[in-house]
Chains A and B, each alone.
Chain A
Amino acid sequence: MAIALVLVLVVVGSVLFHFLSPWWWTPIASNWDYIDNTIIITFWITGVVFAAVVLFMAYCVFRFRHREGNQAAYKPEDKRLEWWLTIVTAIGVTAMLVPGLFVWNQFVNVPSDATEVEVVGQQWQWSFRLPGKDGKLGTSDTRNVSAENPLGVIASDPNGQDDVVVEAADLHLPVGKPVKMLLRSIDVLHDFYVPEFRAKMDMIPGSVTYFWFTPTKTGTFQVLCAELCGQGHPLMHGVVMVDTQEDYTAWLGEQQTFAQLSAPQQVGSAE
């Protein structure tokens, strides 16, 4: 008997917690409110199913609890009911899957006007590289990584000479412009994750992965590493500052290019 009451309380408590507790996602700062909407749809469908199943159980436990002289019904199967439930379930699943795949299609297809920005992860810091005036990132190779060339840019590639290198410092992005984040690692797996942007992707040594988004709010956002990368993993924070176009241009003007950094007279310890 207590169990029937507790089952009802589990449903009521869970629903109240969902709506009343202060713990919810951070305000979004990118174009991916589609993802948030898909989550909301999923919460509604799954929430209704959870409540329905558990409340039905609670009713059964209360109504059909053992009392002297009771006998259970004998009914091995009910084909019609089983098919009916299967179809309703399939419809519910489709209602979640279709919007999900629709948004995924947007997520994996990068708009043609997106600017490329490279993120390089290493234990346990973030570096960045932006294309220079030519709009192209030069090629790179982990085998070229050295103290003077922390990102392994291939010096013989002319596209790389004017690349802006931001080593272990904050990344700035202009608001309202789509960016394609090209993700690299020179040691282990990392994952570039900014909760406010809703997007994340692993970084794999030896490969270049990507995702895209459009920052929609100016401000300072924390980068978290979301793939276990050794014992410094929880400390691998970074900063992305989303600027107005003027602030961004000013910041960009202060940065050094690969050519400047690798010029012989400037070689020196960064620390």
Chain B
Amino acid sequence: MVDITPADAVPPAEVAEMELYHPHSWWTKYVFSQDAKVIAIQYSATATAIGLVALVLSWLMRLQLGFPGTFDFITPEAYYQFITMHGMIMVIYLLTALFLGGFGNYLIPLMVGARDMVFPYVNMLSYWIYLLAVLVLVSSFFAPGGPTGAGWTLYPPQAIMTGTPGGQDWGIMLMLISLILFIIGFTMGGLNYVVTVLQGRTRGMTLMRLPLTVWGIFTATVMALLAFPALFVACVMMLFDRALGTSFFMPAIVEMGEQLQHGGGSPILFQHLFWFFGHPEVYIVALPAFGIVSDLISTHARKNIFGYRMMVWAIVGIGALSFVVWAHHMYVSGMHPYFGFFFATTTLIIAVPTAIKVYNWVLTLWRGDIHLTIPMLFALAFIVTFVNGGLTGLFLGNVVVDVPLSDTMFVVAHFHMVMGVAPILVIFGAIYHWYPKVTGRMLNEAMGQFHFWVTFLGAYLIFFPMHYIGLMGVPRRYNELTDMTVMTESAQHLNSFISIMALMVGFAQMVFLFNLIWSIRHGREAGGNPWRATTLEWQTPQTPPAHGNFGKELPIVYRWAYDYSVPGAKEDFIPQNMPGSFGSSRGPA
């Protein structure tokens, strides 16, 4: 049964107040700032800017696929450059950077009751190295030969050969250097997030009183710190293969009739290193989304998250399991086929804690007091798309079912639904939710409604039918889907429809960006706690919070993050820093 602990148990202060570096000039306040909130906005703005590039690339790809032969400038080379840059930007430079660098920086110190990250200077460096990584990436668009067209997985040998755009030009090298920089920058930020959660919590904020947002970001960061080194060494080795002529990943090869000066390397070793990073990466993106959406649902349904402790253990369990499933991306890679038994089993086991999370989200809605605000709408849409994408993962994870579906459009539809659409819907919900705290004003409701409906329904109409094109046997990464016996004329019409939907969803994002800028000045005044939420970021003395977050005294935490609609309490929420016992409040210790 539920542990019942006195709601006002407060451990004594163990950590002395930290000294903050206070900025002395405009430059140190807004540019080279050490304030996690400013760094968060810098991260978010940079990630959004580069994400826009990836969005435009997706339109170009869809124009080519939907209307083949219409757009002459989309050559096969250009198409492969577009898919590569689109994928890499979305996964690494947008989703990872925005969830951890953006939301992590803004929310961790505020939600745990800290004045800032524990290493503010390193935190600042983290952003500037990230920016450098983005600039190196962007520079490849202007380099001789253009960016790499190796696919976002960068599989050797083709990634560094002449048959691939950028393979023997600058493209692949700039990509690898950019990734190496990104990982260095991320590690600086990541260490900060982990230590801040472990050491920077305010009095009374036990681990089991943390909001699930913090649990999600914290676990994802620990995973990223363990997973990114695998990508780091893979990038360094491939850079050596390309620039110095080593053969880590290069066996004996005859390219267009000519023997290359390589031999003895293993292309499949790269795939193992890549996916040892790449699979946890899926959850590095998903776990912060899980955490954030839990808090959105709880706050806007005015009800405690159902099964908090199970939710925490599911996050940790998924994080741990995600390190032993990587080769499910390699069932048809030619690795030893007996690996299939092991990795199919671990992969399907991970479905159990994931399903528990879904049940607990919908059970939180049960007997709630559901306010259909924009963040809540996005949270509901997240559940739909995540359940859909998660269930198709049971096709691809089940080794033999993967054989016909692997490398087809089914895979493209699956991962876009589960780690593209679903987490981005959470990001949107989170922005509508926390924008009032960041700016002091609400985002415009009408534009928000338009943005929500077009994005949710449009994205579903893009990716749901796409599974069936894959089921027909149409491979992914083809710049032309014509000239194939499996591709029927009616399926080409479906493709055109998908492309039109993609353009419409893209347009809705422009409305959203306009809303973000417009509402800074014209949005409705929000006040300090417009959603009547319990967590500490809503209890700051100023909105937006000033440097140091909490004024003179740090808040003291007396209860868990989910005291909504406590029977007998005066209001339907009790902030975490509210002392005293109310009615039958009984959150976990």
Q: How far is the CB of A256 from chain B (nearest CB, A)?
A: 20
Are A104 and B399 in touch, CB under 8 angstroms? yes
At the interface, yes or no: A168 with Cβ under 8 Å from chain B? no
Are B163 and A89 in touch, CB under 8 angstroms? no
Report which of A22, A77, A198 forms a contact with B308, defined as CB distance below 8 A.
A77
Q: How far is the CB of B572 from chain A (nearest CB, A)?
A: 7
CA distance A234 to B372 in the complex (A): 46
Report which of A85, A86, A100, A200 forms a contact with B401, defined as CB distance below 8 A.
A100
CA distance A72 to B364 in the complex (A): 10
Report which of A39, A64, A142, A195 forms a contact with B253, defined as CB distance below 8 A.
A142
Please give, as numbers and ranges, the residues of chain B lying within 8 Å of A96 by CB-CB distance: 348, 394, 398
Identity of the chain B residue whose Cβ is nearest the Cβ of A231 in the assembled complex: B76
Are A50 and B345 in touch, CB under 8 angstroms? no
CA distance A82 to B308 in the complex (A): 11
CA distance A6 to B384 in the complex (A): 11
CA distance A34 to B400 in the complex (A): 9
Q: How far is the CB of B61 from chain A (nearest CB, A)?
A: 13
Are A100 and B400 in touch, CB under 8 angstroms? yes
Are B490 and A65 in touch, CB under 8 angstroms? no
At the interface, yes or no: B229 with Cβ under 8 Å from chain A? no
The answer to whether A71 and B307 touch (CB under 8 A), given A228-B151, A229-B163, is no
At the interface, yes or no: B48 with Cβ under 8 Å from chain A? no
CA distance A26 to B472 in the complex (A): 6
Are A6 and B457 in touch, CB under 8 angstroms? yes
Q: How many residues of A contact B (CB 8 A)?
A: 101
Please give, as numbers and ranges, the residues of chain A lying within 8 Å of B359 by CB-CB distance: 82, 85
Are A93 and B340 in touch, CB under 8 angstroms? no
Q: How far is the CB of B66 from chain A (nearest CB, A)?
A: 16
Residues 68-96 of A at the B interface (beta carbon under 8 Å):
70-79, 81-82, 85-86, 89-90, 93, 96
Residues 290-347 of B at the A interface (beta carbon under 8 Å):
301-304, 306-310, 332-334, 337-338, 340-341, 344-345
Identity of the chain A residue whose Cβ is nearest the Cβ of B301 in the assembled complex: A72
Are A24 and B471 in touch, CB under 8 angstroms? yes
Identity of the chain B residue whose Cβ is nearest the Cβ of A90 in the assembled complex: B352
CA distance A122 to B334 in the complex (A): 17
Report which of B355, B377, B564, B588 forms a contact with A72, defined as CB distance below 8 A.
B564
Are A10 and B384 in touch, CB under 8 angstroms? yes
Are B464 and A74 in touch, CB under 8 angstroms? no
Q: How far is the CB of A62 from chain B (nearest CB, A)?
A: 9
Report which of A23, A25, A54, A200 forms a contact with B384, defined as CB distance below 8 A.
A54
Q: How far is the CB of A234 from chain B (nearest CB, A)?
A: 4
Residues 5-27 of A at the B interface (beta carbon under 8 Å):
6-7, 10, 14, 17, 21-26
Please give, as numbers and ranges, the residues of chain B lying within 8 Å of A231 by CB-CB distance: 76-77, 80, 149, 163-165
CA distance A106 to B170 in the complex (A): 46
Report which of A54, A82, A228 forms a contact with B477, defined as CB distance below 8 A.
A228
Q: How far is the CB of A85 from chain B (nearest CB, A)?
A: 5
Are B352 and A86 in touch, CB under 8 angstroms? yes
Are A76 and B2 in touch, CB under 8 angstroms? yes
Are A108 and B252 in touch, CB under 8 angstroms? no
Are B253 and A77 in touch, CB under 8 angstroms? no
CA distance A186 to B157 in the complex (A): 11
The answer to whether A206 and B304 touch (CB under 8 A), given A53-B383, A93-B349, A108-B337, is no
Residues 486-506 of B at the A interface (beta carbon under 8 Å):
486, 488, 490-491, 494
Are A25 and B472 in touch, CB under 8 angstroms? yes
At the interface, yes or no: A145 with Cβ under 8 Å from chain B? yes
Please give, as numbers and ranges, the residues of chain A lying within 8 Å of B151 by CB-CB distance: 228
**Contact residues of A: prevailing secondary structure:** mixed
Q: How far is the CB of B311 from chain A (nearest CB, A)?
A: 10
Please give, as numbers and ranges, the residues of chain B lying within 8 Å of A195 by CB-CB distance: 404, 472-473, 486
Please give, as numbers and ranges, the residues of chain B lying within 8 Å of A136 by CB-CB distance: none
Are B362 and A57 in touch, CB under 8 angstroms? yes
Q: How far is the CB of A71 from chain B (nearest CB, A)?
A: 5
Report which of B1, B365, B377, B398 forms a contact with A38, defined as CB distance below 8 A.
B398
Residues 362-405 of B at the A interface (beta carbon under 8 Å):
362-363, 365-372, 377, 380, 383-384, 387-388, 391-392, 394-395, 398-401, 403-405
Q: How far is the CB of A178 from chain B (nearest CB, A)?
A: 17
The answer to whether A61 and B369 touch (CB under 8 A), given A49-B387, A93-B394, is no
The answer to whether A200 and B406 touch (CB under 8 A), given A23-B490, A122-B254, is yes
At the interface, yes or no: A241 with Cβ under 8 Å from chain B? no
CA distance A138 to B584 in the complex (A): 80
Report which of B161, B304, B395 forms a contact with A39, defined as CB distance below 8 A.
B395
Please give, as numbers and ranges, the residues of chain B lying within 8 Å of A226 by CB-CB distance: 332, 406-408, 475
At the interface, yes or no: A222 with Cβ under 8 Å from chain B? yes
Interface centre among A66, A72, A195 (most CB of B within 10 A): A72
Are A101 and B332 in touch, CB under 8 angstroms? no
Please give, as numbers and ranges, the residues of chain B lying within 8 Å of A56 by CB-CB distance: 362
Tally of A-B Cβ pairs under 8 angstroms: 329
Are B348 and A60 in touch, CB under 8 angstroms? no
Identity of the chain A residue whose Cβ is nearest the Cβ of B381 in the assembled complex: A3
CA distance A147 to B268 in the complex (A): 28
Q: How far is the CB of B574 from chain A (nearest CB, A)?
A: 11
Are B365 and A23 in touch, CB under 8 angstroms? no
Please give, as numbers and ranges, the residues of chain B lying within 8 Å of A7 by CB-CB distance: 380, 384
Please give, as numbers and ranges, the residues of chain B lying within 8 Å of A32 by CB-CB distance: 404
CA distance A1 to B371 in the complex (A): 10
CA distance A92 to B253 in the complex (A): 46
The answer to whether A66 and B370 touch (CB under 8 A), given A3-B380, A82-B356, A93-B394, is yes
Are A187 and B490 in touch, CB under 8 angstroms? no
CA distance A32 to B405 in the complex (A): 13
Report which of A73, A89, A202, A224 forms a contact with B356, defined as CB distance below 8 A.
A89
Identity of the chain A residue whose Cβ is nearest the Cβ of B407 in the assembled complex: A226
Identity of the chain A residue whose Cβ is nearest the Cβ of B566 in the assembled complex: A74
The answer to whether A187 and B406 touch (CB under 8 A), given A65-B370, A143-B252, is no
At the interface, yes or no: A249 with Cβ under 8 Å from chain B? no
At the interface, yes or no: A107 with Cβ under 8 Å from chain B? yes
Are B371 and A66 in touch, CB under 8 angstroms? yes
Chain A residues near B (Cβ < 8 Å): 1, 3, 6-7, 10, 14, 17, 21-26, 32, 34-35, 38-39, 42, 45-46, 49-50, 53-54, 56-57, 60-61, 64-66, 70-79, 81-82, 85-86, 89-90, 93, 96-97, 100-101, 103-105, 107-108, 122-123, 141-143, 145, 147, 152, 183, 186-189, 191, 193, 195-196, 198-207, 209, 211, 221-222, 224-234, 237
The 6 closest A-B pairs by CB, nearest first: A195-B473, A206-B251, A230-B163, A209-B334, A108-B337, A46-B391
Pull 30 A–B residue pairs with CB atoms less than 8 Å apart, ordered by A.
A17-B464, A21-B468, A23-B488, A23-B490, A25-B404, A42-B398, A54-B384, A60-B362, A66-B369, A72-B368, A75-B306, A77-B306, A81-B363, A93-B394, A97-B345, A97-B348, A122-B254, A123-B256, A141-B252, A145-B259, A189-B157, A198-B403, A205-B157, A207-B334, A211-B403, A222-B486, A224-B484, A231-B163, A231-B164, A232-B76
What 15 additional pairs, Cβ within 8 angstroms, besides A66-B372, A100-B398?
A10-B384, A26-B485, A38-B401, A49-B391, A72-B572, A74-B567, A93-B351, A186-B253, A187-B254, A189-B267, A205-B252, A205-B267, A206-B251, A211-B403, A230-B164
